[in-house]
């Protein structure tokens, strides 16, 4: 497994791979890897000749400095998880490497970023869109793999790729869950034992809400019931609990078009997100 930390090194490798006719798959991560990340790696390996995994805690997508500081950094453990899988290259740039002196460019997507996580985290998706655009160009990858747990992010990246004519296939992969239904996330490790016991109820309440809506309960009533159930279960602030249309993420009032249920709630000081198809 090759490890590179600069754009120059990365480009030398990917150009050689392309010259040999290899299809390159790319899995961008912020480290603190779990089985969800590893499933993306395996998906990339199944569809590519060579696989690049990046580990970079991107400072520009954190609107709260405390959140950035608290984000786990486990480089050595991450590498130990990737090595047995046969990952071809791990890209580990520094913030200075990613954002050089005088850096002044921003990629911003309108519409898709005005709701859900974008509404409560100003600037977050500008940071995501900018760093992912840079990495897609740096890696020269043919395919990029993202988890559907961050569905809004997936739609934003698809929009960026389409609008900027970046020659890459963006592939969404199913959310990986713990045995009790909790969506796998690097943030889960910050939960206390009691918090970890409560957390799976988010997915359970979401499933109940989705079934109620499919059974004819008005969306607004189902959302109100779910928020009360979350409070009773021990969750804190509900950032959002909404049904939105699949393609444009507009608020849905019925199920005339494909839709998903999105949730972001606080438990202790950890913000948990999830989404499911209705």
Q: Do 216 and 109 share a structural domain? A: no
Q: Do 112 and 7 share a structural domain? A: yes
Closest by Cα among 81, 82, 133, 83 to 105: 133
Q: Do 201 and 154 share a structural domain? A: no
Selecting among 37, 124, 179, 203, the annotated active-site residue is 37
> Is 147 part of any known ligand binding site?
yes
> Is 185 part of any known ligand binding site?
yes
36: CB partners within 8 A, 6+ apart: 147, 149, 175, 176, 183, 184, 185
Half-sphere exposure of 228 (CA within 13 A, CB side): 6
pTM value is 0.93
The residue from 173, 201, 219 where one domain ends is 173
Q: Is the pLDDT of residue 70 over 90?
A: no
Q: Do 168 and 60 share a structural domain? A: yes
Q: Is 37 a catalytic residue?
A: yes
Q: Do 234 and 167 share a structural domain? A: no
Q: Do 201 and 149 share a structural domain? A: no
What CATH number corresponds to the domain at position 253? Answer: 3.30.1300.10
Residue 119 φ/ψ, nearest 5 degrees:
-70, -35
Query: pLDDT per residue over 127-182, tens digit each?
Result: 999 999 999 999 999 999 999 999 999 999 999 999 999 999 999 999 999 999 99
The residue from 145, 173, 201 where one domain ends is 173
Query: pLDDT per residue over 186-230, tens digit each?
Result: 889 899 999 999 999 999 999 999 999 999 999 999 999 999 999
Give percent of the chain above pLDDT 90: 95
> Is 164 part of any known ligand binding site?
no
Q: Is the pLDDT of residue 63 over 90?
A: no
What CATH number corresponds to the domain at position 93? Answer: 3.40.50.620
The residue from 141, 173, 205 where one domain ends is 173
Give the domain extent around 47.
2-173
Q: Which two tokens stand for residue 29?
A: 């991560």
Q: Is the pLDDT of residue 22 over 90?
A: yes
> Is 143 part of any known ligand binding site?
no
DSSP string, 228-269: HHHHHHT---EEEEEEEETTT-PBPSSSSS-EEEEEEEEETT
């Amino acid at each position: 497994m090759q490890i590179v930390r600069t754009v120059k090194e990365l480009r030398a490798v990917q150009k050689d791979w392309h010259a040999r006719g290899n299809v390159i798959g790319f899995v961008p991560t912020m480290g603190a890897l779990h089985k969800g990340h590893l499933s993306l790696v395996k998906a990339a390996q199944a569809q590519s000749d060579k696989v690049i995994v990046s580990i970079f805690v991107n400072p520009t997508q954190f609107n709260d400095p405390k959140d950035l500081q608290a984000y786990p950094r486990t480089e050595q453990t991450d590498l130990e998880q990737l090595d047995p899988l046969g990952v071809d290259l791990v890209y580990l740039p520094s913030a200075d490497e990613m954002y050089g002196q005088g850096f002044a460019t921003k990629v911003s997507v309108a519409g898709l970023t005005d709701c859900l996580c974008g509404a409560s985290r100003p600037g977050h998706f500008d940071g995501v869109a900018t760093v992912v655009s840079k990495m897609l160009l740096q890696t020269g990858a043919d395919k990029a793999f993202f988890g559907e747990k961050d569905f809004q992010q997936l739609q934003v990246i698809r929009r960026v790729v389409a609008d900027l004519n970046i020659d890459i296939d963006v592939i969404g992969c199913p959310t990986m869950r713990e045995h009790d239904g909790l969506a796998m996330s690097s943030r889960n490790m910050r939960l206390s034992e009691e918090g970890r016991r409560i957390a799976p109820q988010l997915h359970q309440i979401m499933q109940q809400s989705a079934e109620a809506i499919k059974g004819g309960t008005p969306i607004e009533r189902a959302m109100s019931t779910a928020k009360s159930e979350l409070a009773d279960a021990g969750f804190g602030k509900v950032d959002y609990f909404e049904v939105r249309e699949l393609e444009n993420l507009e608020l849905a009032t019925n199920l005339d078009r494909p839709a998903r249920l999105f949730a972001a709630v606080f438990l202790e000081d950890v913000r948990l997100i999830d989404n499911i198809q209705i």
